[in-house]
Amino acid sequence: MTQTAPAQNLTADAAVPAFKRVLLKISGEALMGPESFGIHQDTVERIAQEIGAGVELGVQISLVIGGGNIFRGLSMAENGMERASADYMGMLATVMNALAMQNALESIGVQTRVMSAIEMTSVCEPYIRRRALRHMEKGRVVIFAAGSGNPFFTTDTAAALRAAEMGCDVLMKGTQVDGVYSADPKTNPDAERYESLTYMDVLKNDLRVMDQAAISLTRENAIPIVVFPLAEEGGVVGALTGQGTFTIIKD
């Protein structure tokens, strides 16, 4: 496993973003803030400010947000619910989170579009790839909701898929810690933090950054993954410019 300073992997100029077009993956749990369930409005607004700062740099940003703060399909399936139905319920939770983020972004003047893989035209646009590309070219933040529209696939896989479809330069995953560790640093003080990894490092060592399908998709399409602390002030801009703390995953 290679260990290189992250700034060397990206750019040395804090004022210039290293990427033109990015997909930002946010877990549903990130929207809970200090709560144990649901959407914490102050937290959503803080994350929106972080994204807005990235937009001000001239970066084209798209989002995929999980739904685990409202409903976790896999957990319900483990408790006896039919898996496909549970996953569809989880997809609907991601639409709720997408609308909450859209509201927060537009309240600070950031133009957005929510595009759902499950058609619900009275609430948001259906996902059409060429239309999504056009929105991004016009500087709008596109929020992809309802995962890939298929059960048995996670929002991590949906994020990797959309990043490939949009021709993104990078997939950025915001987490509660400052990168990838060999174990959970919250429970294991001896966990090792990695500055950089290869896709195969992640797969062989089962580091669980994202699921295996997502890692394979990003590897096949040569899309680097940047894992950064979303809860840290300036975390998004730091990852975009190479001046923050993060782990980068690439070949």
Angstrom distance (rounded) from CA 94 to CA 35: 18
pLDDT over 80 (residue 2):
no
pLDDT of 15? 59
6-249, what's its fold?
Carbamate kinase (3.40.1160)
92 is written with which tokens? 């609907």
Give backbone dihedrals phi and psi of 195, rounded to 5 degrees, phi first: -80, -40
pLDDT of 1? 53
pLDDT of 72? 81
* CA 28 to chain CA centroid, nearest Å: 10
pLDDT over 70 (residue 187):
yes
pLDDT over 90 (residue 105):
yes
Domain ranges for the chain, please list them.
6-249
Separation in Å, CA 200 to CA 120, 213, 237, 241:
38, 13, 27, 25
pLDDT of 5? 37
pLDDT over 90 (residue 76):
no
**pLDDT > 90 in the chain, percent:** 84
pLDDT of 151? 95
